[in-house]
Structure 1
Amino acid sequence: MTILVVSGTGTEIGKTIVTAAVAVASGGRVAVLKPAQTGVAPGENGDAAEVVRLAGGEVTAVELARYPEPLAPATAARRCGLAPVRPYEIADAARKLATEHDLVLIEGAGGLLVRYDDDGATLADAARLLEAPVLLVAAAGLGTLNSTALTAEALRARGLTCPGVVIGSMPSDPDLATRCNVEDLPVAAGAPLVGVLPAGAGSLRPADFRTQAPTWLAPELGGVRGAD
């Protein structure tokens, strides 16, 4: 997979940390593309910079747009008077990065169908232009099955493939629903479980993160989780 889109069932579920883990496990030359960074002031580190911090300075980080308010990209762009990011711009940037890297990871904002412009364009539209698979990051606890099934249904309706679902933050002492979801999430997603990241993974020292990241991910993502 030269280009892989990392999307989620919602916001604050671990997309950035999953992106960093995939960057580590994949090896080779990796670029992370953040089409629209919201809620970050000029000069502050955004999600792409966090991936570089955790995965290593050899990862290339690219932002296409930055909006100061923590809102959906279309709303954030409109409110600050800046141009929105269009799907073709995301696709063009990803293709350019793919000529110089072994893997390009495109990290979305919020869920799959969050609007990037006032015409209703979403990350799914960019994935369709690229014919790129979409890795789905899901929450661990109660309520995740419905949001995961809805997102997977939206992917299939658009002809997009999903290589798997990753639990973005697994608590150290999971409750009953969370334990059951480990088995039920692949059914809801219609795709295999290809990763489980522990809660607090992003707080690890970068060196420890890089050592442990492959153990959280299945071989499909370059990891060793579940490998014989």
Structure 2
Amino acid sequence: MSCTVLDAVRALGISAFGLKPVAAGGEVVDGKLCNEDALALMRHSFPVPAYDEVNPCLLASPIAPHIAAREEGRTLAVEPLLRHCRDQLAARDGFALVEGAGGWRVPLNERECLSDLAIALRLPVLLVVPIQLGCLNHTLLTAEAIRRDGLTIAGWVANKVSPVYSPSEQNILTLEDRLGLPCLARFPLLSASYTDLKEGDFNPLLPFLDVRPLLENSRIA
């Protein structure tokens, strides 16, 4: 969904940059281990950044970051990630999006969570909600945690992930009411991943997203 946000902003003639501070799981591209999500953010950003600018911390195993780091004998911490994000954001004009990894309270180490990075950056948050069984409880608890941490929710999008789950619209209406925020997008279930789009391809998700409310904040997480 981050790539669609970047595409929508760029379609308005605004430069856009995606950051993925921590990623777990990768593939070798041109002799270098890279993460698929970070590569997609690169492709959908303009001006196009270098890989290390987008993703400063890549862990090989596609598991929780603190566990993957422990397996590699590494230690994750908010401070170096924060320095990198601040440097990259300060170096660019336009719109920027900092993508998380796995959820609001995903641990980085024994004391810190990925949410601590968002708190330190003081960025408004965009919630991506997979519409499936359990999404109401999960989303409302996440929103409660974000607000308790002192951050605002810039908006939220609904992402259909199951062809058989039927009460999608009822769930969206319930979340709009409980969150007090309109749904900025109702993304349909796609047969192919939009991360496979090549430069210049039309993003089929663009017509479903109203990006204008996000432009009130030039940086979001």
Distance 1:76 1:169 in 2: 29
Structure 1's 56 and 198: CA in aligned 2 closer, same or farther, altered over 3 A? farther
The structure-2 alpha-carbon separation of the partners of 1:79 and 1:102, relative to structure 1 and needing over 3 Å to count, comes to same
**1:20 match:** 3
TM-score of the aligned structures, taking structure 2 as reference length? 0.79
Amino acid in the other structure paired with 2:89 = A
Sort the Cα spacing of 1:38 and 1:101 in 2 relative to 1 into closer, same or farther, 3 A. same
Q: Could you report, residue by residue, the CA deviation over 1:162-199 in whole angstroms, capped at 9, with x for unpaired residues?
A: 0111113366x674321212212223434321122222
Specify the code of the residue in structure 2 equivalent to 1:199: L
Mapped to 1, the partners of 2:213 and 2:48 lie a distance apart of 20
Read off the aligned partner of 2:213 and give its amino acid letter. E
- Could you say if the C-alpha distance between residues 81 and 175 of structure 1 is closer, same or farther in structure 2, counting changes exceeding 3 Å? closer
- How many residues align? The count is 200
Deviation at 1:24, TM superposition (A): 0.9
Aligned counterpart for 1:109 among listed residues 101, 104, 119: 101
Q: Distance in 1 between matches of 2:83 and 2:105?
A: 20
Partner of 2:218: none
Equivalent positions of 1:209-228 (< 5 A) are: 209-210=202-203, 212-218=204-210, 219-221=212-214
- Return closer, same or farther for 1:38/1:63 CA change in 2, 3 Å cut-off: same
Partner in structure 1 of residue 141 of structure 2: 150
Q: CA deviation at 1:149?
A: 0.4
SS in 1 for 2:185: strand
Find the aligned partners of 1:59 and 1:216 in 2 and give their Cα distance.
25
Residue in 2 aligned with 1:34? 20
TM-score, normalization by structure 1? 0.77
Moved over 4 A (4+): none
Q: How does 1:35-54 map to 2 (within 5 A)?
A: 35-42=21-28, 43-46=32-35, 47-53=37-43
